[in-house]
């Protein structure tokens, strides 16, 4: 079975959610290829080689350093058409969410998106993805024998340990990029020392009950003690307590950390859609009947304004 993993980079760093794809339990005879599109690639290639790839398809062009669907889809369509992989994988990041449907249309093949489990049975790929805001999940089997596209939710698989003794073939991909219809003019990177919300191992989120921008400081101070990212419910974002990029849920980001700590969040279905696949959920809420407790591994019935400063103090 031939697998092609589309690897994403940002500012010269491979994304963790891309490296996680090398942790999928492929069959022993799987031939793992990687596609890397960027201009400065030497260190990134070394990292990929240490993850057991047999071939790296490398497209180098300054225009590929930043993602634009037209140029990336053009290069990747060429690689997929010439290599005919059985499965093409990408992380379901904001880039993956945009790119994979483009590829599915250009190649006229099927796509399973935002999958939270993947297995291979008798050479067939079986994927599972959440439906109805995470209330149900569906098992997907491809009926077409051609290339299958799959995007995988970040934090679904662990990054495997790198292996120093590997060698890989490098295939340079030379493609005339189309004249772009869109141009990336500026990329504003959020100034934060905290981990990226979508990739963080621990997320501490606050809800409407925080009551003000200033009160979110107690969430931030606690998060900083445990190296966590800060998230928020839509009610907190709509109230102006946090920026939209911190929103977790159906109309915000989907996160799947090792630990999700929901502080003063009721657990509305739309919020659960964004964090339900977290490995461990801890909730702090004054209402013992809050729906968030139904999906929590640990719950504290109490006032977050008392509990969080105490926890922060203890950690300090």
Ligand X SMILES: Cc1cc2nc3c(=O)[nH]c(=O)nc-3n(C[C@H](O)[C@H](O)[C@H](O)COP(=O)(O)OP(=O)(O)OC[C@H]3O[C@@H](n4cnc5c(N)ncnc54)[C@H](O)[C@@H]3O)c2cc1C
Confirm or reject binding of residue 284 to ligand X (CB under 6 A): yes
- Looking at the Cβ atoms of 195 and 207, the one nearer to ligand X is 207
Task: Calculate the alpha carbon distances from 185 to 39, 73, 182, 276 in Å.
Answer: 18, 19, 9, 36
Confirm or reject binding of residue 113 to ligand X (CB under 6 A): no
Q: Closest residue (Cβ) to ligand X?
A: 249
The Cβ-side half-sphere exposure at 77, using a 13 Å CA radius, reads 20
Contact status, residue 99 vs residue 106, Cβ threshold 8 Å: no
Confirm or reject binding of residue 271 to ligand X (CB under 6 A): yes
- Looking at the Cβ atoms of 82 and 251, the one nearer to ligand X is 251
- Looking at the Cβ atoms of 44 and 219, the one nearer to ligand X is 219
Cα 252 to chain centroid distance, Å, stands at 13
End-to-end, the C-alpha distance of the chain in Å comes to 51
Q: What distance in Å separates the CA atoms of residue 129 and residue 226, rounded to the nearest whole number?
A: 30
Confirm or reject binding of residue 120 to ligand X (CB under 6 A): no
Q: Return the range that interacts with ligand X (CB under 6 A); candidates 64-72, 147-155, 213-221, 297-305.
A: 297-305
Q: Which two tokens stand for residue 15?
A: 């994304």
Q: State which of residues 99, 202, 304, 311 lies at the interface with ligand X (CB under 6 A).
A: 304
Question: Could you give phi then psi for residue 49, rounded to 5 degrees?
Answer: -60, -35
Q: Return the range that interacts with ligand X (CB under 6 A); candidates 6-14, 163-171, 181-189, 229-237.
A: 229-237
Sheet holding 169-172, edge to edge: 110-115, 148-152, 87-91, 2-7, 31-37, 55-59, 169-172
- Looking at the Cβ atoms of 35 and 236, the one nearer to ligand X is 236
Number of residues that bind ligand X (CB under 6 A): 28
Residue with token string 């300090």: 316
- Looking at the Cβ atoms of 103 and 272, the one nearer to ligand X is 272
Confirm or reject binding of residue 133 to ligand X (CB under 6 A): no
Q: Return the range that interacts with ligand X (CB under 6 A); candidates 1-9, 38-46, 181-189, 203-211.
A: 203-211
- Looking at the Cβ atoms of 115 and 261, the one nearer to ligand X is 261
Residue 278 Cβ, how far from ligand X at the closest point, in Å? 14
217 contact partners, CB below 8 Å, separation of at least 6: none
Q: Return the range that interacts with ligand X (CB under 6 A); candidates 14-22, 75-83, 164-172, 230-238.
A: 230-238
- Looking at the Cβ atoms of 33 and 153, the one nearer to ligand X is 153
- Looking at the Cβ atoms of 33 and 271, the one nearer to ligand X is 271
Q: What distance in Å separates the CA atoms of residue 285 and residue 153, rounded to the nearest whole number?
A: 28
Confirm or reject binding of residue 208 to ligand X (CB under 6 A): yes
Residue with token string 């105490």: 310
Residue 249 Cβ, how far from ligand X at the closest point, in Å? 2
Binding mask of the shown chain, residues 231 to 270, with x at each position contacting ligand X by CB under 6 A = --xxxx----------xxxxxx-----------xxx-x-x
Residue 250 Cβ, how far from ligand X at the closest point, in Å? 4
Q: What distance in Å separates the CA atoms of residue 171 and residue 173, rounded to the nearest whole number?
A: 6
Question: Could you give phi then psi for residue 233, rounded to 5 degrees?
Answer: -80, 165
Q: What distance in Å separates the CA atoms of residue 102 and residue 91, rounded to the nearest whole number?
A: 15
Q: What distance in Å separates the CA atoms of residue 217 and residue 114, rounded to the nearest whole number?
A: 32
What residues line the site for ligand X (CB under 6 A)? 207-209, 233-236, 247-252, 264-266, 268, 270-271, 274, 284-287, 290, 303-305
């Amino acid at each position: 079975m031939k697998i092609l993993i589309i690897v994403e980079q940002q500012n010269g760093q491979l994304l963790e959610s891309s490296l996680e794809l090398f942790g999928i339990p492929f069959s022993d005879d799987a031939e793992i290829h990687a596609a890397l599109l960027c201009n400065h690639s030497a260190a990134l290639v070394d990292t990929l080689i240490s993850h057991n790839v047999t071939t790296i398809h490398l497209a180098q062009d300054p225009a590929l350093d930043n993602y634009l669907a037209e140029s990336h889809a053009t290069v990747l369509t060429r690689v997929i058409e010439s290599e005919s992989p059985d499965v093409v994988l990408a992380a379901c990041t904001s880039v993956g969410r945009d790119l994979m449907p483009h590829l599915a249309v250009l190649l006229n093949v099927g796509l399973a998106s935002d999958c939270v489990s993947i297995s291979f049975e008798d050479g067939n790929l079986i994927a599972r993805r959440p439906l109805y805001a995470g209330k149900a999940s569906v098992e997907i089997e491809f009926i077409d024998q051609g290339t299958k596209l799959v995007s995988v939710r970040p934090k679904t698989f662990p990054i495997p340990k790198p292996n120093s003794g590997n060698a890989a073939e490098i295939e340079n991909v030379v493609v005339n990029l189309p004249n772009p219809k869109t141009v990336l003019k500026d990329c504003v990177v959020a100034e934060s020392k905290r981990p990226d919300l979508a990739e963080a191992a621990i997320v501490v989120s606050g809800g409407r009950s925080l009551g003000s921008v200033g009160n979110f400081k107690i969430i931030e101070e606690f998060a900083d003690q445990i190296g966590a990212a800060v998230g928020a419910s839509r009610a907190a974002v709509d109230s102006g307590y946090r920026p939209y990029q911190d929103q977790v849920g159906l109309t915000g980001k989907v996160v799947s950390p090792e630990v999700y700590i929901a502080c003063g969040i009721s657990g509305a279905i739309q919020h659960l859609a964004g964090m339900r696949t977290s490995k461990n959920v801890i909730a702090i809420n004054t209402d013992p009947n809050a729906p968030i407790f139904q999906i929590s591994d640990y719950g504290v019935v109490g006032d977050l304004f008392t509990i969080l400063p105490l926890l922060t103090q203890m950690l300090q």
